[in-house]
Structure 1
Amino acid sequence: MTVNEDTFTNWKNREEIAESMIPIIGKLHRERDVTVLVHSRSLVNKSVVSILKTHRFARQIAGEELSVTETLPFLEALTTLDLGPSQIDIGMLAATYRTDERGLPVAEFTARAVAGATGANKIERGEGRDVVLYGFGRIGRLVARLLIEKSGSGNGLRLRAIVVRGGGGEDIIKRASLLRRDSIHGQFQGTITVDEANSTITANGNEIKVIYANDPGEVDYTAYGIKDAILIDNTGKWRDREGLSQHLRPGIDKVVLTAPGKGDVPNIVHGVNHDMIKPDEQIISCASCTTNAIVPPLKAMADEYGVLRGHVETVHSFTNDQNLLDNYHKSERRGRSAPLNMVITETGAASAVAKALPDLQAKITGSSIRVPVPDVSIAILNLQLARETTREDVLDYLRNVSLTSPLKRQIDFITAPDAVSSDFIGSRHASIVDAGATKVEGDNAILYLWYDNEFGYSCQVIRVVQHVSGVEYPTFPAPVV
């Protein structure tokens, strides 16, 4: 047998193992509300090739290969345990098992590592929480996709309704079509049917009522069987407490804004300050996509090195609030053609840092340039640190943060020397550290942070909604604090 044949046989064997993992992952998710991860990347509803690619990606951040032959025993061990709702990272289980010196069998090691999700420690499965989307634009449709994707167990978040203004003939058909196909993020993974007579869209078995209203005060959500719901406002029309309070109608318990909040509205970046949300707080903001991109790595750097001052320059993809061709716009430069120009504009992300990191005394300034790409942006974070360090030390630290810290769902890490913006479309992290571009000299560090300003931000929104709804499940093995 030739070397090529050996390589191909090995690939086919790994395909077979990955295929055997799919029903186990699916059953754990449906029956026990357990999401199986590999280095913070979900394996739920993934194909054979996707599972193999997710394992192979581990070499980028962990520095060595991770094979399905290593993780399968841990996955099989999970099936023997009395698990409650949780997220379990079999990649981290395999990695920590490699360095464990106790010599335990895989089954016993796994049982100990996830003990917080078993027996008397496990969380009881709830009835789920109703969610309403107010507006159905770029972020609204991606949030809808994520809610539908995560509804597999039936005990988490349930998208019950979408509120939009009437758009004329075949309105619901056109909106369903935009959910079904997206020029950037691709096809919806599943089936979508439309019932015009009853004004519903059914996506992967989730029946979603489409409610037409021109104003929040027009809707009584209890008339649609909706109760204690979380309403996600992705229109950005109202940003202060007074305006957003209009959503607190019968059937709505909390309001989450997908834009920076004004006044006393808490601006939340999941992973950094979501624990500050008071149980009785009814109105919160998820800040901006750029704020979510820069605050987690800024916190990480401040915790380890201290930060005296900084500047963030965002090179941002164009958005719907710009003009396709030159036309009137209330902003000075955004009226110029978005796909034909680089456009200097403002960003509120730097000033929003103070709300998310109130203990950070460093002055952070910021500016932004909109560029002719439809998605994925990069933030260049230039920091003066409180002590001198080296590039190698910073990269090792941030790699570990992305793997084992409480910020591992927010911060990703990549070493690929040929990475470009389109490679990060669909990233579920708030930001991705580009190791190759990182520069450190003495007390100055410059981080290049990629982020999918649409999908990655939508994932952060979902995490906040899960937290305030009580369906944010613990992750095992527990992150290193």
Structure 2
Amino acid sequence: MTVNDDSFTNWKNREETAEAMIPIIGKLHRERDVTVLLHSRSLVNKSVVSILKTHRFARQIAGEELSVTETMPFLRALTTLDLGPSQIDIGMLAATHKADDQGLSVEEFTAQAVAGATGSNKIERREGRDVVLYGFGRIGRLVARLLIEKAGSGNGLRLRAIVVRGGGEQDIVKRASLLRRDSIHGQFQGTITVDEANSTIVANGNAIRVIYANDPSEVDYTAYGIKNAILIDNTGKWRDRAGLSLHLRPGIDKVVLTAPGKGDVPNIVHGVNHDTVKPDERILSCASCTTNAIVPPLKAMDDEYGVLRGHVETVHSFTNDQNLLDNYHKSERRGRSAPLNMVITETGAASAVAKALPDLKARITGSSIRVPVPDVSIAILNLQLAREASREEVLDYLRDVSLTSPLRRQIDFISAPDAVSSDFIGSRHASIVDAGALKVEGDNAILYLWYDNEFGYSCQVIRVVQHVSGVEYPTFPAPAA
């Protein structure tokens, strides 16, 4: 048999194993609220090829490919356990079992590693929590996609309504079409139908009421059967406590802003300071996409090396706030054509660091350039460290952070030599460390951090909403502190 025959036979065998994984992953998700991960990447509703590619991507991080034949025994072991709602990373199970010296079988090791999600330790399945989207633009539609995707067994977050200003003829049909198709993020994964008579969009079985209102005061959510809901404001029209409090209407319990909050509104970056949210806090912000991109790696670097000062330069994709063609704009330069120019502008991300990392003493400055790409940005984080380090040391540290630390859902790592911005469309991490571009000289480190400023940020928003709603389930094996 030739090498080519061996490779093809191996591929077919792995395909067969991945096919067998799909019903197991789906059943765990639907019946037990268990999300199966592979190095922080969800395997729920993934195709055979997607599962195989996710396994192969581990090579970019850990240096060697992870095979489905290695992870399948751990997946099968999960089906024998009395699991409660949780997230279980079979990639981490395989890696930690390989390094374990107890001599345990796969079944014994798995039972021990996920003991916090079994038997008397398991979390009881909760009632679903209603969610309302106020605004349905770029972030609103991506958050909607994520909420629909994560509906699972129906015991998590439930998107009940979308509030928009009244449009023209066939308004709801056009909005449903924008949810169904996206020029950047592709087709919606599932089916969407429209019930115009009842002003409802049905997406993968989720009935989503479209409510027309020009102001929060016009809506009584209880009239639509909505109660104790979390409202996600995607408009950015109100950013202080007084303005956002307008949303606290009958049926709404909490308000989450998808823009930097002003005044005393807490700015939350999941993975960094989400555990500081007080149970009785009713209004909070998810900060900006750039703040979410730089704060986790900044925290990681400060924890290990200490950061004395820093500067972040963001090369940011253009947004709807800019003009397609030259026209009046209240901000300087942003009135010039976005698809035709690089535009120097301001960013509040550096000043927002203090809200998310109050213990960081370093002064962080920042500036931004908008460039003619529709999505994915890069933050160049230039840091003066408290001690000297080598490039290899920093690379190994950040690689480990992306794999095993509590920040592994926020920080990704890539070593591909020819990576470019479009490669990161759809990334669910807050930022991705580009290993090839990293520079370290003495006490100076320069990190190049890619981030999908639309989808990656939307994932961070969902994580915050899950946390404050009480449906953020624990991850096993637990990340190293």
Q: When the two structures are superposed, what TM-score results if normalisation uses the length of structure 1?
A: 1.00
**CA offsets, 1:415-464, max 9 Å, x none?**
00000000000000000000000000000000000000000000000000
Q: CA deviation at 1:124?
A: 0.4
Indicate the SS of the match to 1:238. coil
**CA offsets, 1:377-419, max 9 Å, x none?**
0000000000000000000000000000000000000000000
Q: CA deviation at 1:3?
A: 1.2
Indicate the SS of the match to 2:313. strand
Q: Which residue pairs with 2:249 in the alignment?
A: 249
**CA offsets, 1:237-259, max 9 Å, x none?**
00000000000000000000000
Tell me how far apart the structure 2 counterparts of residues 406 and 101 of structure 1 sit (CA, whole Å).
24
Count of residues in correspondence between the two structures: 481
Identity of aligned residues (%): 91
Q: Which residue pairs with 1:260 in the alignment?
A: 260
Tell me how far apart the structure 1 counterparts of residues 387 and 4 of structure 2 sit (CA, whole Å).
51
Runs of 4+ in 1 over 3 A off after TM superposition: none
Q: CA deviation at 1:115?
A: 0.2
Tell me how far apart the structure 1 counterparts of residues 227 and 467 of structure 2 sit (CA, whole Å).
18
Q: CA deviation at 1:153?
A: 1.2
**CA offsets, 1:214-234, max 9 Å, x none?**
000000000000000000000
Tell me how far apart the structure 2 counterparts of residues 152 and 129 of structure 1 sit (CA, whole Å).
13
Tell me how far apart the structure 1 counterparts of residues 421 and 148 of structure 2 sit (CA, whole Å).
27
Tell me how far apart the structure 2 counterparts of residues 63 and 49 of structure 1 sit (CA, whole Å).
21
Q: Which residue pairs with 2:323 in the alignment?
A: 323
Q: CA deviation at 1:361?
A: 0.5
**CA offsets, 1:142-184, max 9 Å, x none?**
0000000000211000000000001110000000000000000
Q: CA deviation at 1:306?
A: 0.2
Q: CA deviation at 1:68?
A: 0.2
Q: Which residue pairs with 1:394 in the alignment?
A: 394
Indicate the SS of the match to 2:385. strand
Which consecutive residues of structure 2, in runs of 5 or more, have no partner in the other structure? none
Q: CA deviation at 1:103?
A: 1.1
Residue 461, structure 1, aligned to residue 461, structure 2: yes
Q: Which residue pairs with 2:122 in the alignment?
A: 122
Q: CA deviation at 1:2?
A: 1.4
Indicate the SS of the match to 1:246. helix
**CA offsets, 1:166-208, max 9 Å, x none?**
1110000000000000000000000000000100000000000
Tell me how far apart the structure 2 counterparts of residues 433 and 4 of structure 1 sit (CA, whole Å).
35
Tell me how far apart the structure 2 counterparts of residues 62 and 467 of structure 1 sit (CA, whole Å).
29
Tell me how far apart the structure 2 counterparts of residues 59 and 98 of structure 1 sit (CA, whole Å).
16
**CA offsets, 1:247-286, max 9 Å, x none?**
0000000000000000000000000000000000000000
Indicate the SS of the match to 1:54. helix
Indicate the SS of the match to 1:387. coil
Tell me how far apart the structure 2 counterparts of residues 98 and 254 of structure 1 sit (CA, whole Å).
44
Q: CA deviation at 1:23?
A: 0.1
Q: Which residue pairs with 1:421 in the alignment?
A: 421
Q: CA deviation at 1:320?
A: 0.2
Tell me how far apart the structure 2 counterparts of residues 163 and 263 of structure 1 sit (CA, whole Å).
25
Tell me how far apart the structure 2 counterparts of residues 132 and 47 of structure 1 sit (CA, whole Å).
30
Q: Which residue pairs with 1:377 in the alignment?
A: 377
Indicate the SS of the match to 2:382. strand
**CA offsets, 1:92-128, max 9 Å, x none?**
0000111111111100000000000000110000011
**CA offsets, 1:282-340, max 9 Å, x none?**
00000000000000000000000000000000000000000000000001100000000
Tell me how far apart the structure 1 counterparts of residues 153 and 428 of structure 2 sit (CA, whole Å).
21
Indicate the SS of the match to 1:152. coil
Indicate the SS of the match to 2:120. helix
Q: Which residue pairs with 1:22 in the alignment?
A: 22
Q: When the two structures are superposed, what TM-score results if normalisation uses the length of structure 2?
A: 1.00
Tell me how far apart the structure 1 counterparts of residues 48 and 86 of structure 2 sit (CA, whole Å).
23
RMSD, matched Cα: 0.3
Tell me how far apart the structure 1 counterparts of residues 127 and 283 of structure 2 sit (CA, whole Å).
23
Q: CA deviation at 1:363?
A: 0.2
Indicate the SS of the match to 2:19. helix
Tell me how far apart the structure 1 counterparts of residues 124 and 102 of structure 2 sit (CA, whole Å).
32
Tell me how far apart the structure 1 counterparts of residues 471 and 400 of structure 2 sit (CA, whole Å).
27
Tell me how far apart the structure 1 counterparts of residues 430 and 284 of structure 2 sit (CA, whole Å).
18
Tell me how far apart the structure 2 counterparts of residues 247 and 296 of structure 1 sit (CA, whole Å).
30
Q: CA deviation at 1:64?
A: 1.0
Tell me how far apart the structure 2 counterparts of residues 41 and 214 of structure 1 sit (CA, whole Å).
39
Tell me how far apart the structure 2 counterparts of residues 103 and 281 of structure 1 sit (CA, whole Å).
47
Tell me how far apart the structure 2 counterparts of residues 130 and 177 of structure 1 sit (CA, whole Å).
23
Q: CA deviation at 1:63?
A: 1.1
Q: CA deviation at 1:28?
A: 0.1
Q: Which residue pairs with 2:236 in the alignment?
A: 236
Indicate the SS of the match to 1:388. coil
